[in-house]
Structure 1
Amino acid sequence: MEYVSVRTKEAIAYVTLENTKQHNTLTFQLIEEIDELLQNIAKERKVKVVVIEGGKKAFSAGHSLQEIQTRSQEDVLKLFQRCYQFMRTIREIPQVVISKVEGVAVAAGCQLVAISDLAVASESARFATPGINSGLFCSTPAVFLSRNIGRKKAAELLFTGNLITAEEAFTYGLVNEVVPSDQLDERTEQLAKDITKQSLEILEIGKRQFYQQLQMEDFQALNYASDVIAANSKHPDAEEGIQAFFEKRRPEWPSEKESVKKA
């Protein structure tokens, strides 16, 4: 792959955007590469967490305006439809996706942070949806931005194009934590490790349930959640986890033992 690389450490996959000369713009090729990579990670089920990282100066500058300018409207639509599929992949894979943000995350780069399940930012990180400054309103980033932070603040970012600091992004709920740059790797890895001790099958159930219920009315969501948790309670990993709780020991997930046997 030309614009994306991956390395694994224990049960964590670090996916790095490698289009640094263009500030990690989400070109059609980069989107295809990272989407294919994430789908393979999902199928292999060897890791439990995916960390997406960019460069020190730019996490991602969003879509390439040059690519948009030189394509027909039909081809621009295909670009955004391909990005739509990439966003769906992030949402639908069983692994928890963490954005590790250093430098700027703007436009679709900000969208990538917003669609991720979790995000950790360095103090030097900056966020914006500046498309309006170029006459191209950030319509697609607006979707997940407005589902992460309050409506008024989302509207302000979208209509002004102004940058916000990492601390502001934390205050408004766009990122989970802000740390000094020299602690970003360590803190992101620790957060990932806090997740990798869990069962991947239960993470998958929980991730699906979490996003499904967000779109429902309160008691519709509770009814749905009741069905999910009842079925979850009889999953072998849940039965082992509950037994381990009573026996005051660490669970040994049956699903992972089965995966080792198959491998």
Structure 2
Amino acid sequence: MTDVITTRREGAILEVTLDRPKANAIDPPTSRLMGETFKAFRDDPELRVAIVKTAGDKFFCAGWDLKAAASGDAVDGDYGVGGFAGLQELPDLNKPVIACVNGTAVVGGFELALSCDLIYASDHSSFALPEIRAGILADAATIKLPKRIPYHIAMELLFTGRWMDADEARRWGLVNEVLPKEKLEDRVWEIARLLAGGPPLVFAAIKETARVAEALTFQDTMNKLSHLPTVDILSGSEDSMEGPRAFAEKRDPVWKGR
């Protein structure tokens, strides 16, 4: 697409790579471009899984481009259709997104990883939210992090801005796996291929249900479940019959997404 955002497509998988030396920081044009990229992924019926990665080994992403901000590009400017980094506020993204974290994920880079459904990290990766030292609210992380890891650990990271290495992130369940950097991408692609072979309508229903459930009680969510668009589509789909049929015929199911 551009030198800043490149994509690789393999079947139903889209790999999106951010490449902005030295720290893969994101300025407004890059954020808008990422939003258009993920919007196109969302709207392409042939694509089922996305991988988010960045170039280089030192920085996964340093978040907001402070040089852009210093030059007059306001922090609260136009991030684009998906909000910051294209994923944070993209509506109706009901497909799995995997973060491939190799290096430092700090401030908005940490929030970019949190915007994904699965996070795989290299063993030299680290995470931090040092906004507190500048008197700034890490808004998206403050909303998301206490829901992903124990509350007291999330508050410690937000209050102190301390660093968390990959092993600690794994202990708290923030990342799915920690691997040597030379094995990271192979593992991420292995998982992406596994998901690409799964039932896309069920994945969509899982993501919408989980998103709706964040703001509701268990019973309210259950009461609303049959009215969710993705659940309604799933219940009347060919795929809803394919699973039982494949089981009865002792074969692997063939998911068509319809």
Name the TM-score, length of structure 2 as normaliser: 0.89
Matches of 1:6 and 1:230 in 2, distance apart? Answer: 32
1:8 aligned onto 2:9? yes
Further displaced range: 213-222 or 113-122 = 213-222
Residue 167 of structure 1 is matched in structure 2 by: 167
The C-alpha deviation readout for 1:150-200, integer Å capped at 9, x for no partner, is 221111111211110111111222211111212101111111122111132
Equivalents in 2 of 1:138, 1:69: separation in Å? 19
- Structure 1 counterpart of 2:196: 196
| Superposed CA offset, 1:198-225 (max 9, x none) | 1323322221112212321121122233
Alignment match, 2:142:
142
1:77 aligned onto 2:79: no
Q: Could you tell me how far apart the structure 1 residues matched to 2:193 and 2:9 are?
A: 13
* 2:224 match: 224
Q: Name the residue aligned to 1:62.
A: 63
Residue pair 2:104, 2:127 contacting (<8 A) in 1 also: yes
Is the 8 Å Cα contact of residues 62 and 110 (structure 1) preserved in structure 2? yes
Question: Is 1:98–1:119's contact at 8 Å kept on the other side of the alignment?
Answer: yes
Structure 1 CA distance, aligned partners of 2:212 and 2:32?
26
Deviation at 1:10, TM superposition (A): 2.5
Contact 1:213 1:225 (C-alpha < 8 Å) held by counterparts: no
The match for 1:95 is 95
1:92 and 1:208 in contact (8 A); partners too: yes
Mean alpha-carbon deviation: is it higher for 111-120 or for 38-47? 38-47
Letter in 2 for 1:60: C
Match of 2:248 in 1: 246
Shift of 1:85: 6.3
Instruction: Provide the rounded CA distance (Å) in 1 between the counterparts of 2:188 and 2:3.
Output: 25
Q: Which amino acid aligns with 2:119?
A: A
Q: TM-score, normalised by structure 1?
A: 0.87
Q: Distance in 1 between the 2:103 and 2:89 partners?
A: 25
Q: Which residue of 2 aligns with 1:260?
A: none
User: CA separation in 2, counterparts of 1:163 and 1:41?
Assistant: 33
- Is the 1:52–1:100 Cα contact (8 Å) retained in structure 2? yes
CA drift of 1:230 comes to: 7.3
1:80 Cα deviation from its structure 2 partner: 5.9
Q: Secondary structure at the match of 1:88?
A: coil
Q: Please, what is the CA RMSD of the aligned residues?
A: 2.2
1:233 is the counterpart of 2:235 = yes
Amino acid at match of 2:49: V
Structure 1: stretches of 5+ with no match in the other structure: 257-263
Per-residue Cα deviation, 1:7-32 (whole angstroms, up to 9, x for no partner): 012221110011122x1112111111
SS at match of 1:46: coil
Report how far residue 120 of structure 1 moved. 0.5
Quote the sequence identity (%).
Answer: 28
**Alpha-carbon separation, structure 2, partners of 1:230 and 1:143:** 29
Where do 5+ consecutive residues of structure 2 fail to align? none
Distance in structure 2 (CA, Å) of the matches to 1:167 and 1:238: 39
**Other structure's SS at 1:146 match:** helix
Aligned length: 252
Q: Distance in 1 between matches of 2:159 and 2:110?
A: 15
Greater alpha carbon shift after TM alignment, 216-225 vs 119-128: 216-225
Distance 1:140 1:68, change over 3 A: farther
CA distance in 2, matches of 1:135, 1:244: 57
Distance (whole Å) between structure 1 residues aligned to residue 182 and residue 151 of structure 2: 33
Deviates more, 1:93-102 or 1:228-237: 228-237
CA distance in 2, matches of 1:230, 1:92: 15
